[in-house]
Each structure stands twice: as structure tokens, then as C-alpha cells.
């Protein structure tokens, strides 16, 4: 049981980390684009 649940737990952690990192990158890029747009308009 242990030798099977460990890799599954690590894979779930890896997927959750990748999803969280992708969401953070998307928020970071979108915020930078919004800042550039507001600066160009002013």
C-alpha cells in the first residue's frame, strides 16, 4: 500500500504545484499588461 500511495501523493502534489504556478504566472502577466495599458493611455 505504502509503495503505491507515495508516488500518487507526489504526483498529485506536482500537478497542484504546476497548476498553482501557471495561475500565478497568468495573474502576473495580466497585471503587467494592465499596467502597461494604463500607462500608455495616460
- At 8-38, the pLDDT tens digits run 999 999 999 999 999 999 999 999 999 888 8
In this predicted structure, what is the pLDDT of residue 36? 87
| Residue among 18, 24, 22 nearest 10 (CA) | 18
Rounded to two decimals, what is the model's pTM? 0.61
CA distance 19 to 12: 11
With residue 38 as reference, give the H or E element that holds it. Answer: helix 2-41
CA distance 30 to 16: 21
Residue bearing the bigger pLDDT, 27 or 2: 27
Amino acid at each position: 500500500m505504502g509503495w503505491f500511495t507515495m508516488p500518487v501523493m507526489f504526483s498529485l502534489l506536482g500537478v497542484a504545484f504546476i497548476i498553482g504556478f501557471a495561475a500565478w504566472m497568468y495573474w502576473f502577466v495580466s497585471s503587467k499588461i494592465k499596467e502597461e495599458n494604463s500607462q500608455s493611455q495616460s
